Amino acid sequence: MSNTAVYNTNVTWKGGHWGHIVMGNGPEMDFSAPPDAQGYPGVLTPEDAFVAAANSCIMMMFIWASERFKLNLLSFECRAEGTKLIELDRTEIFTHLRFWPVIRVSAGIEDPHMVQVRIQRALKSAQKYSLVANSVKSEIIIEPLIEVLA
């Protein structure tokens, strides 16, 4: 027996290179093509949304894994970047999604090395169980900066 969940959005063209999106969960906003594709700066683009979806999903899975591995997480911040390749026939693909999480954890009375090991396991679990990361063809690269505080 499988469990299914359905997520939805609704987009409306507003003219030119503008659109409006309403998420099934409630938020809504205008979006545009990126400036390099005749769009506008300062607003959400599909490319930004794609990278943001992977970044936020990996973060949420890391939070889940941190709880599972009993890490005393102090902070998590992650910069993400998608590398786009334009093929000769003008098709486009994100070849890589690269993440640079900065993770701060308190070791308390534990051995800092063992905490490091659990953080690495939590990162692997976050990637393994990320719905969005598992749903894309892009190579996922995670390059963490980990700080274990006493």
pLDDT digits (tens, 9 = 90+) for 104-116: 999 999 999 999 9
Please state the separation of Cα 101 from the chain's center in Å. 10
Amino acid at 75: S
Q: What tokens appear for 78 in the block?
A: 């992650």
pTM of the model: 0.91
Residue with tokens 């409630």: 26
How, if at all, do strands 9-15 and 18-23 pair?
antiparallel
Q: Domain-by-domain residue ranges, the chain?
A: 1-44, 46-149
pLDDT tens-digit profile, the chain (150 residues): 678 999 999 999 999 999 999 999 999 999 999 998 899 999 999 999 999 999 999 999 999 999 999 999 999 999 999 998 877 787 888 999 999 999 999 999 999 999 999 999 999 999 999 999 999 999 999 999 999 998
Q: Which CATH class is domain 46-149?
A: alpha beta
Do 20 and 43 meet the contact criterion of CB atoms below 8 Å apart?
no
- Bridge-partner residues for 139, per DSSP? 96
The DSSP call for residue 24 is: T
